[in-house]
Amino acid sequence: MDIQAIVSLDRTKCAVQCNSKKRILEIISGIAAQNNPDIDEATVLSSLLSRERMGSTGIGNGIALPHGRLEGLDHVIAIVVTSSPAIDFDAIDNKPVDIFFTLLVPHDQTEGHLQTLAMVAGKLSDKETIKTIRKAQSNDDIIRALQ
């Protein structure tokens, strides 16, 4: 799967003003529901919070990969958000996070979910991609950085 298959401009937000882990997950849930009539905002938030209770999805270097499984979803979707300023997200390196690449996957896609996470993590390990995302001034800039 190509990263372009799961990202879209209507699920991308640049420089969101936010100051807490819960609030950024609420914003992400709202973006997911706003553009997908089959997705309930509260269900998304509950799924993301449940996953965070198992351990932070902050992978270090200012990046988090929140993810959750949803009943009724038939394909993987991504929500990409940057925050300004970076926020405390209990990341593994204890550094604040400013890039949030969220994955919502169908409830029954365990293997596909892991492959998608690995693909996204690989893309976000590229220093130039991250630098470009951090310099982004618009949602379009973020999408271009991920190409």
Catalytic residue among 67, 75, 107, 113: 67
What is the pLDDT confidence band of residue 111, given thresholds at 50, 70 and 90?
low
Q: What is the CATH number of the domain that holds 21?
A: 3.40.930.10
Segment 112-143, tens digit of pLDDT: 667 787 788 888 889 999 999 999 999 999 99
pLDDT of 12 over the 80 cut: yes
The helix or strand, by DSSP H or E, that contains position 81, with its residue range, turns out to be strand 77-87
- Kindly state the tokens that stand for 16: 């969101």
**pLDDT tens for each residue of 60-72:** 999 999 999 898 8
Decide: pTM greater than 0.85: yes
**Number of domains comprising the chain:** 1
Which residues span the domain enclosing 57? 3-145
Query: What is the arithmetic mean of pLDDT over 51-68?
Result: 94
pLDDT on residue 112: 61
Cβ atoms of 50 and 25 closer than 8 Å: no
Q: Determine whether 67 is an active site residue.
A: yes
pLDDT, tens only, 20-48 = 999 999 999 999 999 788 889 999 999 99
